[in-house]
Structure formats: C-alpha cells, structure tokens
Chain A
C-alpha cells in the first residue's frame, strides 16, 4: 500500500507568522488543468490592515539596517530559494502549465533576479544619489531613502518570477511590503513566504496575502499608513483607475500597471519609484 502524503495547509504570511484569514475563508486553487491543488486562505480587509500594521512596525528596523546587511539578507533569501528549487519547479509547473524545462528556467531566472537585486542594496545610493555643486559655501548631498510601506499587487500570470520581480526591488532599499499574490496561482507566493521566514528577514518586512486584489486593493489604496502602491498585477483597467484614485488620499506613489516582460532586464524601473530623495545642506566654514 502506497503511503498517504501529508498535505500542507496554505496560509497567509503576516508579521513573520502564518495565520489563517481572520475571516475563516478559503478558496479553491487548481492547476492549469483545473485539478484541485489546495484551499488557499482568502484574505480579508482585516487581514490587509493587520499586514499594514506589521509592515509599519518592521519599517523602522529594516530601513535603518546597513545596506550591506540588507544585501546579505536578500542574498540569503536567494540561497534558500535555490535550496527549495524542486518544490518551486513543481508548483510553477502546476500553476502556470509549463513543461519541466520551462518551469526550471523560470525558477532559475527568479533566483538570479533575487541575487541581482540583493547586490543593489549598497550600490543604489551611489547610482541615484548626488553631491550637488551649489553656488555657495555649502555641503549639499542628495541620497535615496525608502518611501515606507509599499502595497503590491503581484502579477497574476507570472506567479514566481513576476512575484520576486516586484518584491525584491521594493525591500532592498529598506521599504516594507504588503503583497497580494496572484489570485489563481498563489502557491509559489506561499512557498516564497516560507523561504522568507527562514532567511533572517525580519518578520513584517514582507507580508503576503492570498486573495482577490479587487476585494483587498481598495482597502490598501485608501489606507493612510501605506506610502506607495505597485499595481503590477491589476489587469482590470477600471480597477487600476479606482485604486489610483483611492491612492490619492494620502498621495501614495503609484506604479501603474503595464504590459511587462518579466524575463527582461528590469533596470531601475521598479527600484526608483519607491525611493524618496533627501537633500541635506550644511554650511562650509571654519
């Protein structure tokens, strides 16, 4: 008689813990051929607010770590990601309907993307910051700082590569994030949260909600303690507009959804939108 496998309960990831949705709701997750895979937690308004609280709480500590330390932790994430390669390949394969070879390529690209972003931690300030030659006896320096708590609508189709391509650039500069995963393909996101939980990343830096962006998005858009909203995974034009309108309430920095090839080199396109430029002046004299 073959062994009965032990199945996993897929939960949310908030403040470093794995709670179920406070609403008690779950939804069916199927593979690309409609075969049942799991019951994922269906995050609610309250879950999204809890996640924002966790992200805000983590912001002070994460944003003041040295860039070198953040870079090390992100690199550690890539190491653990690599170690779980087989699991990601099978999940990406199932959810995106890819061949083994294609799924392998996606996972490899995701790990490589994470490594690429990890290295940015202690280089970004040198690339986007400036010493400003003002016309007077003043020291004048502009440097980037994280904007704060970033809400992210993760891409709907690219469930792993797209996901890491929106999370890593936001957190490497010191932001903390609340991510709403792909609705139909949430399992790689939950698996990623297990990677993050075991990679020295402080709890609350990344919070992952599985659920429907159309339901949770408006609460994040109107949340006064969220500083930015990446709408990458909002495919519905009307919803994207609604979320952008809601975001104006406290002037969130909004990244509008675009058709994005997640395999392409992203450049700084997702790093700079979540940075503030701080300019410090000081007189020069004796």
Chain B
C-alpha cells in the first residue's frame, strides 16, 4: 500500500511562557516547601532531553515527616471539619485548576511528553472535573456506602492515605487519588512518579492558593525507595497505588498482616474486539484512540486488536491508511497526535519487546514518519500475524504498539480476550445491541467500552479484575475505597494487627 501523504502543517506550538519553572523544587510538607534531607534528581523534557528542574528525593525521614504532618492535620483539623466545609476547599481547588488549566497543560506536556492536545483537552479538564465531582460528595458521605441506614449510615475516613501514582497521566492520577481521599475526610501523602513530578509540585501551590489547611495534602518526590517508605510507614492507614502489576504485588505482600487498606490499579492487556458488523471507520478511530492515545502509555490501552476474519483485510487496510495521517513530534505543537515516549527506560522496554515480536515471527508495520533526533520517540506500530503465545500478545508493552489477532466466532473472541492474567478493560465494536450486551457480560474486565474507547469520567468507576488490581476509582465506588463503615477504624494504629482486632 502506498503511504498517503499527509497535509503539511506549519508548526503551531503552544507557548511555554505561561509556565514559570523554578530551577529546583523541595518537598511539600505541612503546607510549605521544604528541602529534603536526601539527594536530588533531575527531571527532563522527554521530547528534547532538556533538564527542566532539580527535584528533592525524599528519604524515609522525609516521608515520616510528611506522614506526621498528615496525621496531625487529620486528627486536629480535617476529620473534625464538617463535610460541607471540606467540600468548599475541594470546590476551590477545582476552580483554580480550571483557571490555571493552560499553565498545567503546558507543564504536563513538557514534563511528560504527551501532546498538548491531550493534556489541554483531556488530562487537565478531567482534573478539575474530578475535584468538582468529589467536592459534592464531602457532605453526603452518609449516602456513599450501600446499605445506607445499616452499616453505612455514618461512614468514617480511614486516616492517612499514602498514594503513589505513575508517570502516564501525572496530574490526572493525582486528582483521581487526592479528590476522593479528601472528600471522605482523609489526609494524604502523595508521591508522583520520578520522571513526572512537576505538575504535582505546581499543584502544591494550588493547595496554598486555596488555603487548604497545612498537612492535608503532602507531596513527596522520589523513586521506588520513597514509595516503599510510604507503603511501609506504620502510621499510614491506606495505600492507593497506580502502576505496574509487579510493584502492586510487592505492595500487597508488604501490607500483609497489617490493618492497612489497599487499592491497586495495575497493568492491562486489553482486547479491542471488532466484529464484522461493526461500523468500520468508527472502529478504526477507536482502535487508533485505543492504542495511540498518550503514546500507548495507558494501562487500559486497547493493545490487543481482535478482528473478525471476514473483515480483517478491510480493517487493517483502513487502519494503516489512518495511521499514515498520525503526526508524531513536538508535544507542544497543537497538531501533534503522538508525542514523546516518557523516558529512555520506557523506550528501551518498548524496543526490547517489539524486537521479541520480530523474533517470534510477527510482522511489524509502521507508517513512514520522521522522528526528532533528540528525545525519546517510537513510531506508531502494528504487529500482524500475532498469536496468543507471542509475548507481544501477553505482556504489557506500554507504548504505541498494537498486536493484531483474528477470530471467527464471538465465543472465540471472548475466549481470546479473556486469555490473560489481566482484566482491566476491553472494547467491543458491533452494531448489534444484543451482541454487545452478551460479549460485554462475558468479558472479565472492569471497564468495557462498546463502540467507543478510552473514555473516563469522575462519576464512572474504573479498575480491574484479576491481576489488574482491586478497588475502583471514580464514582461512588471510588469514594468507598476511602471510607470505613466502622466508626473506630481511624482510631487504631494501622501498622500491626493482633488476633481479635477488628479491621
């Protein structure tokens, strides 16, 4: 197939001037920026490898300081404050996020490498929306647990929540974690990912602007060791983690034998199933959105395309044609579809797994595209001729790489879709309503997008089956993960458990 030439666009970069970057950042503890007691690390722009700022690497002692601040704020201020007052702080944050959305969008694209079109139109609007949604819950907690009037009449916060978030949607993940935790009356110690700490640190300024009481939100930057210090801290009541399944399992082991509550939102290998009666052009848009949105750095990405054999040729041809129009390049350019891979490490992983795909006999295809010489880049790629045994069909690549498999019957599609230890999301494309409902009910996945993909909303629960983790984020279910029906829950030290103690 001849590559179709895309329109030439003049560069249309979003200005960076709106962002006022400091050369170094400390930790945000008890309402103030403080120097960490350990070393520092650099965060770079993955599209250019330019150093953006130096950031403190929080030590165990720093984490302890943050947890103490969170505990004090929880006991003295936040848990005692009427929900209606907490709500006002969250509404303030939602409004400030909307006011400063362009600044946040630019900074997010700088530090993460995602296209400004996505940070501006998806990430940051959802952040504001998330705080606005959960703000309204803060004074309605009596309605949050099922069985209202029974076990859920007067639900209580859990205490101090330790939250560890990934680099793929830095600020959006922050909002998913902090908004429900605060609405429920918890205080938080949050660690952003080491490659994307900047928007979380800018968010700390928003907390100051909102006059949020000191210690309610604490932000500690660092890598795995900092995260581990949070997970293992004896005075943390709740761990919320989004990231890899391997780390999720380590956390589950670490909290065993304690009273800590945990929610884990982990990896995925979602099947995106296209039936022969699907609206093919819409499906192709959904496939592209499913795997190339955010460079494929999406836990719920539709990374396994299952196409019914009878429409296979048509789907692949139209998909390839569509892929030739994708624009890869400067994340700050408003016309960019696919930005930079977030880090050298992630790029190496994508290259390694795609090399395995070649070696195992799958056929690789990418549209012709010029990649910038600096920074970390990977062209949108599909592999055809993939079988279920191939590693690129089993392992999460977390990049713009699609593995294409085929099927003949709905039963085969379901069986292949479910043939994974993951169970986060799935997609179904067909015009037949009864088939959607049947297939959706058989898929073992926490989110099923039918004739759409990668949609998120604060009112809609998100989270996985099986090794994609447990607990849900978003909606009433997401609030439940930060509440206890047991009024004395927050009174007890979470660190250890003795026989006979209530959870």
Contact = CB atoms under 8 A, between A and B. Distances in A.
Interface in A186-214: none
Contact of A278 (B245, B446, B502): B446
A251 B249 CA distance: 6
Nearest to B472: A277
B225 interface: no
Given A279-B461, A281-B460, A269 B448 contact: no
Contact of B470 (A127, A138, A237, A251): A251
Contact of B460 (A132, A235, A250, A283): A132
A147 B461 contact: no
B423 to A, nearest CB: 8
Interface in B342-400: none
Nearest to B151: A267
Interface in B440-481: 440, 445-452, 455, 457, 459-463, 465-467, 469-470, 472, 475-477
Contact of A256 (B440, B449, B459, B503): B503
A213 B99 CA distance: 58
A279 B447 contact: yes
A235 to B, nearest CB: 6
Given A251-B467, A277-B472, A278-B448, A134 B460 contact: yes
Interface in A150-176: none
Interface residues on B, range: 35 or more
Given A237-B499, A267-B150, A278 B459 contact: no
B469 A142 contact: no
Contacts of B455: 134, 136, 138, 281
B465 A281 contact: no
A248 B256 contact: yes
Interface residues of A, number: 45
Given A132-B475, A245-B257, A278-B448, 17 more contacts: A127-B146, A134-B457, A142-B477, A250-B421, A251-B467, A251-B469, A256-B503, A258-B501, A258-B503, A259-B502, A268-B146, A269-B151, A276-B446, A278-B440, A278-B465, A280-B447, A282-B452
Best-buried of B257, B445, B446 by chain A (most CB within 10 Å): B257
A199 to B, nearest CB: 26
A70 interface: no
A278 B256 contact: no
Interface string A198-239: 000000000000000000000000000001000000011110
B146 A244 contact: no
A105 interface: no
B452 A283 contact: yes
Nearest to B463: A277
B467 A279 contact: no
B129 interface: yes
Contacts of A250: 421, 466-467
Interface string A121-161: 00000011010111110101010000100000000000000
A186 B502 CA distance: 26
Given A127-B146, A251-B249, A280 B256 contact: no
A284 to B, nearest CB: 10
A61 to B, nearest CB: 13
A135 B457 contact: yes
Nearest to A142: B461
